[in-house]
């Protein structure tokens, strides 16, 4: 069931891309060809919707001209359905209106002590504000800045601070069956992404065929860490198509690989897998970076709030919100939407929660209600 659900989601996004790539050309077509293109496109869409993958599903599509609001194409337009990822358009618009296109998140290092020679006499605090674009290299940048200050030893503890948001990791309507995947990743103010798709709170598991037929498949985790573990049950077969399942057991960070990969070169399967408690993943990776850079930590790794009197040592700012809109909307990133909602709640209500963030989104809709209604009519 989960496999069909993921395939259906991918198919819907293929349909969405077809619509967005083709229909802008219709607004520029001359009157003699526009009707023919519209009829041909209409038949193509209906053919896709009638394919086997959509058995048991209901689709509703309305496409309007961006210039006039005129309906160019419609299909089951009067059926009321859950708007699903279309809501990301509203979330993005509300975020741009509330935070501004130049808004940036900041990940910061603080201390409650002082540096004497090469030793930090105090605790080192790593504080996040929700940046979904933090990669391992960005955490390395923070450590390199400490090294450039001549720091080699931390006498106190390494303390991770994710209190900018509340600690409700998953929304109330999140299904357990979705929780192990990237679109069900837990939300934390201090998180990490494996690559520039910016699926925060996940690791990327790449599976390849083994060295010989009958051997276990090879698996690689990005970013490398010992916070998650892999139970590899995948087998390398002589031929056939890749048939690999990569899933994390609920409530744990054990990732189980099952299925088979054909013994052919340059074939690999990539899967984003959410982690249980992403703040702790950051703690694991950041601790390892400190050690790799020759930094000694005398204390422990703790999870607490940064004190008000702490001194800022260095910070890493994200890309502006206007740039994040591209991977957010283009890749329909659920995590970005959740982070934007909590960020709006924090900025406007001083509470990074879904309740307060959704209040801001609703206020945006009320404020712009007439504009949207005029467009729809």
What are the backbone angles phi and psi of residue 258, rounded to the nearest 5°? Answer: -130, 165
Residue written as token pair 């989601």: 9
CB contact at 8 A, 181 and 203: no
**Do you know the residue count of the chain?**
377
Asked if residue 192 has a cis previous peptide bond (ω within 30° of 0), the answer is no
- Of 85, 193, 274, 318, catalytic: 85
Distance CA 61, CA 20 (A): 12
Is residue 294 classed as helix, strand or coil in its secondary structure?
coil
DSSP 168-208: --S-TT--TTTTTBGGGPPP-SS---SSTT--TTEEEEEEE
CB contact at 8 A, 343 and 105: yes
CA angle 60, 61, 63 (to 5 degrees): 160
* 160: β partners: 126, 303
- Of 136, 316, 332, 342, catalytic: 332
Annotation marks residue 287 as catalytic:
no
Annotation marks residue 332 as catalytic:
yes
Annotation marks residue 85 as catalytic:
yes
- Of 88, 208, 316, 346, catalytic: 88
Is residue 291 classed as helix, strand or coil in its secondary structure?
helix
Distance CA 183, CA 279 (A): 18
DSSP 254-278: EEEEEEEEES-TT-EEEEEEE-SSH
Distance CA 285, CA 223 (A): 8
Q: What amino acid positions are annotated as catalytic residues?
A: 85, 88, 332
């Amino acid at each position: 069931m989960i496999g069909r659900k993921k395939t259906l989601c991918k198919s819907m996004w293929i349909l969405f891309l077809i619509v967005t790539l083709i229909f802008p050309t219709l607004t520029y077509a001359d009157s003699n060809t526009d009707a023919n293109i519209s009829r041909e496109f209409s038949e193509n869409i209906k053919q896709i919707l009638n394919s086997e993958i959509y058995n048991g599903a209901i689709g509703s599509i309305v496409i309007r001209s961006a210039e006039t609001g005129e309906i160019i194409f419609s299909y089951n337009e009067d059926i009321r359905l859950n708007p699903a990822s279309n809501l990301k358009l509203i979330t993005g618009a509300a975020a741009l209106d509330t935070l501004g296109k130049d808004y940036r998140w900041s990940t910061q290092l603080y201390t409650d002590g002082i540096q004497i020679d090469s030793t930090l006499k105090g605790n080192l605090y790593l504080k996040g504000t929700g940046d979904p674009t933090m990669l391992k290299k960005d955490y390395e940048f923070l450590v390199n800045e400490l090294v450039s200050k001549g720091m080699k030893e931390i006498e106190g503890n390494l303390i991770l601070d994710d209190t900018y948001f509340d600690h409700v990791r998953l929304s109330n309507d999140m299904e357990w069956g979705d929780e192990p995947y990237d679109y069900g990743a837990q939300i934390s103010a201090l998180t990490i992404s494996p690559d520039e798709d910016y699926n925060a709170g996940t690791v990327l598991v790449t599976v390849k065929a083994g060295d010989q037929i009958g051997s276990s498949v090879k698996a690689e985790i990005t970013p490398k860490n010992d916070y998650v573990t892999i139970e590899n049950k995948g087998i390398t077969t002589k031929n056939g198509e890749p048939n690999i399942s990569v899933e994390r057991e609920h409530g744990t960070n054990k990732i189980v690989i099952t299925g088979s990969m054909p013994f052919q070169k340059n074939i690999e399967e990539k899967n984003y897998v959410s982690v249980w408690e992403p703040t702790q993943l950051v703690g694991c990776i950041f601790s390892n970076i400190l050690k790799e850079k020759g930094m000694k930590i005398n204390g422990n790794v703790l999870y607490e709030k940064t004190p008000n009197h702490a001194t800022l040592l260095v910070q890493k700012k994200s890309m502006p919100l206007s740039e994040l809109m591209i991977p957010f909307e283009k890749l329909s990133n659920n995590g970005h939407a959740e982070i934007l909602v909590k960020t709006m709640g924090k900025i406007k209500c001083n509470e990074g929660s879904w309740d307060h963030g959704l209040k801001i989104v609703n206020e945006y809709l009320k404020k712009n209600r007439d504009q949207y209604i005029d467009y729809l009519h």
